[in-house]
Amino acid sequence: MLPADLDAARQLVRQALLEDLNDGIDVTTSLLIAPSEQGTVQIVARQQGVLSGGQIIPLVFEQIDPDVSCRLHVADGTALTPGMVVATLVGSVPALLTGERTILNFLTLLSGVASLTRKYVAAVESTQAKILDTRKTLPGLRTLQKYAVRCGGGTNHRIGLYDAVLVKDNHLAAWRSDGSRSLAEAVRHVRKSAPPGMTIEFEVDTLDQLREILPEQPDIVLLDNMTIEQLAEAVRMRNELAKNVLLEASGGVNLQTVGKIAATGVDRISIGALTHSAPALDLGFDWV
């Protein structure tokens, strides 16, 4: 994890523990288990997938009980098979029980994102296309979900509204509301006004729009909800008019269609489902 990822994880762990404990105690555990009791837990994969979030485990015990020992057996990004031991935790049984759900919530969510991403990456491995995420993330979890995408072999799109220009259909509708300003003028205006070095991307949903925009050389053109035939024609048009412009396909992408989309020659495929619809990966919290 990068420092920014770890900072985000610490804040989220704090919030997750606040949800569970409300600055109080684990009532059930305190009634049944002596504070002095020691134990060992293994976190075990129960299905095939890709690990993400292992480094969050010790962050949980930083806040519950720093004396709990956390040994990670595999790194984030590792392909998991059923029965593989991800981590071993040794320490206070009350601390282990209190941290169980917080740990599994993070690991199952992030490993689910990484696992789904890996499937998409594998589906396009014979092409030049990169698999990208989007801003369709769970509120507050964007940094960690985008980290999980990287664990699965994917590539991060812009992080937020602040770090890249992406002019979408609603922006253009507002820009052209008086009917006097063209798509090409929008590209020129943005290029003139954007911070130096910032990536400029424009969304189009027709080939006519693409033909209009390519001579203005935006860094990336997002091809929204185009058919396979339209995508192939878009690549041909780009190669003829503006070879340096990257083409990104989006919309209607799933594991059955992504290979065909990549085969058209587009450079990037962005998929909201990586972060908004990835199923959780089943991991167990097993006492030794």
How do the domains of the chain map onto residue ranges?
3-121+279-287, 124-276
State the Cα–Cα distance between residues 33 and 28, nearest whole angstrom.
9
| Run means of pLDDT, 10 residues per run, the chain, 288 residues | 91 96 92 96 98 97 96 97 98 97 97 98 97 96 97 96 93 78 88 93 95 95 97 97 97 95 98 97 96
pLDDT for the residue 168: 92
228 known member of a binding site? no
**What's residue 157's pLDDT?**
96
CATH fold, domain 124-276, is: TIM Barrel (3.20.20)
272 is in an annotated binding site: yes
Catalytic residue list: 101, 136, 168, 203, 224
Q: Quote the pLDDT of residue 259.
A: 97
Note whether 126 and 246 are within 8 A (CB).
no
> Alpha-carbon distance 147 to 131, whole Å?
14
Distance CA 197, CA 146 (A): 22
Asked whether residue 158 is marked as a ligand-binding residue, the answer is yes
If one looks up domain 3-121+279-287 in CATH, what number appears? 3.90.1170.20
135 belongs to an annotated ligand binding site: yes
Query: What is the model's pLDDT at position 183?
Result: 86
> What gap in Å lies between CA 107 and CA 262, rounded to an integer?
30
